[in-house]
Structure formats: structure tokens, C-alpha cells
């Protein structure tokens, strides 16, 4: 089973009698705003989903991007046209590190047919796909489309870690840190007020899981890479990053390799809200 779709296959699906819902969630900490980037170019028919407003709760003790309230998330998805009986394809500009958060949330809350456009808008454009411009308003109200099985986000079915669970995973399983090595080692910290990593965590940058054009490495290659840090099917494994967004990208890569992983949704930005929690700055 794959959770990815390439641009050529997606183009064929969009021409079918059951095209997927297209959701675009481009975001950058340093800007420009994702909505502006979306308006400058996106897949025809795609709807923009705001990461801060729709895929996270306000920053606070739970970190910079806590999981959103399920009812608010469900309403945002319904406004965009999501129903439980229609496939969904999520995307961002290239490697999927933002779109994977929406992939994870939709699956967590009960949608069985969600895939990520491998390589994002860049791959679509490189394949010769049409690119539209301009703002696209969500096509429906809070109740969603008048037909189809209503998406409600009543379920919570994927494994999630809190800070205590992350510490236990680092001790008893494998806890992967999806950030760049320099942040893991505390040599630099451009975002959060404390540098370092959770003691016992293994540095495994999520961008090492994609090729230069942003597409994921093949599943067999991913399995070999994860085996190199003792992660195989059946291994208890969790993933965190800075705020729980790019960690979802690594969870997706693990799923492609046939490995279920728990997401520490609050991630490092939650861990450091309690000064009593230990901080490491050396290798595991």
C-alpha cells in the first residue's frame, strides 16, 4: 500500500468520474504567507488550507502547533469539500513536509483514502500539468457538500505521544528526531528558545528521506535507512520535530516502509515548556 501519488497518475485520476479532492497547505515560517504563494500558482481545482488556522490550535503550553480541535478541523475539511467516501490528495510546494500534517490529521480522524502528491506542485509543473492562479474560496459551508458521507473527525485512531510518552519511547523503543542535525545537537536553534534534543532520541532528519526534487525515496530504500537505526516493522517508534509538523512527514515515510509510528504532536516546542524536562546536546 502506498500513501503517495505521482503527478502522472493524479492527472489521470482527475479526468475520471471520481476525481479526488485537492488540498494545498503551503506554509513557511519566514513567509511569504502560504495563501499568497497558493494564489500565485496551484493545481486547478485545489483548495488552500491554512496550517496555522485549520491544522493547529493556537501556540501555547502544547507547543507552537498543537493538534487542532477536532470539530474545528472537521469543519475546515468539510468547507474544502472533504467527504469520507471521496479520495483526498494533499500537497504543498515540493517535498510534502507541510502537507504531511494534513495527511496525518485526515487519517487520524477517520479518512481511509488520503495520499500525498509526491514532489508537490513542483513535480506537477515539471510533468507538464496545468497551473492555475488566483484565490480559491472554500466551495462549501461548515456542513460540507450536500452529498457524500459527512466527515466529522469523531475518530482518533493513530498513535500519539505526549511528553511522558516521548520520554518512555526514547528509553524503551526508538524516538526519532526529524530536525536537522545542527538543531538536534543544539549548535543552532533558529526558532525555539532552548536548543538541544530529548535525551535518548536518535537524529534522523526527515529531508534525508527525499531526493533533491522533493520526491520520497523508494519504499525499499526507506526500509534500509530505517533499519540502520534499528527501526523495523514491529519496532516501537515515535517521531518528533520542532512543532509536530515535519515529524508527520517522517511518520508518512515510515508508513511507506510498512512501519507504524507514533507522533509526538507537541514535539520539541512542547518539551521545553517544562524546565524540569532534561535537554541533551550530544549524540545519543
Answer whether 183's CB lies under 8 Å from 284's CB.
no
- Reported in sequence order, the residue ranges of 37-171 that DSSP labels E, i.e. its strands, are 47-48, 88-91, 114-117, 160-161
Whole-angstrom Cα distance, residue 191 to residue 272? 12
Residue 9 CB-density burial (10 A; 0-12 exposed, 13-18 middle, 19+ buried): middle
Count H helices, E strands: the chain? 11, 10
- Pick the catalytic residue: 241, 253, 257, 263? 241
241 is catalytic: yes
CB neighbours of residue 101 within 10 Å: 32
CA 36 → CA 25, 41, 95, 121, 136, distances in Å?
Answer: 11, 9, 19, 15, 11
Sign of the torsion angle spanned by Cα atoms 53, 59, 64, 65: negative
Set of cell numbers at residue 100: 504531511
Task: Provide the annotated active-site residues.
Answer: 241
Amino acid at each position: 500500500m502506498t500513501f503517495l501519488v505521482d503527478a502522472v497518475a493524479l492527472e489521470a485520476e482527475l479526468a475520471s468520474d471520481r476525481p479526488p479532492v485537492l488540498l494545498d497547505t503551503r506554509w513557511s515560517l519566514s513567509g511569504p504567507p502560504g495563501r499568497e504563494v497558493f494564489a500565485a500558482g496551484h493545481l486547478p481545482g485545489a483548495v488552500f488550507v491554512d496550517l496555522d488556522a485549520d491544522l493547529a490550535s493556537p501556540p501555547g503550553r502544547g507547543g507552537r502547533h498543537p493538534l487542532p480541535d477536532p470539530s474545528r478541523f472537521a469543519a475546515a475539511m468539510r468547507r474544502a469539500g472533504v467527504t469520507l467516501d471521496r479520495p483526498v490528495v494533499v500537497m504543498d510546494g515540493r517535498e510534502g513536509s507541510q502537507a504531511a500534517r494534513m495527511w496525518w490529521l485526515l487519517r487520524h480522524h477517520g479518512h481511509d483514502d488520503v495520499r500525498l502528491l509526491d514532489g508537490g506542485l513542483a513535480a506537477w509543473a515539471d510533468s507538464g500539468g496545468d497551473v492555475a492562479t488566483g484565490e480559491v474560496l472554500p466551495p462549501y459551508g461548515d456542513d460540507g457538500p450536500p452529498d457524500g458521507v459527512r466527515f466529522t473527525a469523531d475518530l482518533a485512531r493513530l498513535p500519539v505521544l505526549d511528553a511522558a510518552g516521548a520520554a518512555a519511547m526514547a528509553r524503551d523503543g526508538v524516538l526519532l528526531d526529524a530536525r536537522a542535525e545542527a538543531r538536534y545537537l543544539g549548535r543552532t536553534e533558529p526558532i525555539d528558545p532552548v536548543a538541544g534534543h530529548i535525551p535518548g532520541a536518535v537524529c534522523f532528519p526527515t529531508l534525508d528521506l527525499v531526493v533533491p526534487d522533493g520526491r520520497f525515496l523508494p519504499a525499499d530504500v526507506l526500509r534500509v535507512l530505517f533499519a540502520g537505526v534499528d527501526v523495523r516493522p514491529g519496532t516501537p517508534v515515535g517521531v518528533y520535530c520542532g512543532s509536530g509538523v515535519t515529524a508527520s512527514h517522517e511518520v508518512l515515510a515510515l508508513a511507506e516502509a510498512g512501519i507504524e509510528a507514533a507522533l509526538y504532536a507537541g514535539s520539541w516546542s512542547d518539551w521545553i515548556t517544562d524546565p524540569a524536562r532534561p535537554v541533551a546536546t550530544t549524540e545519543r
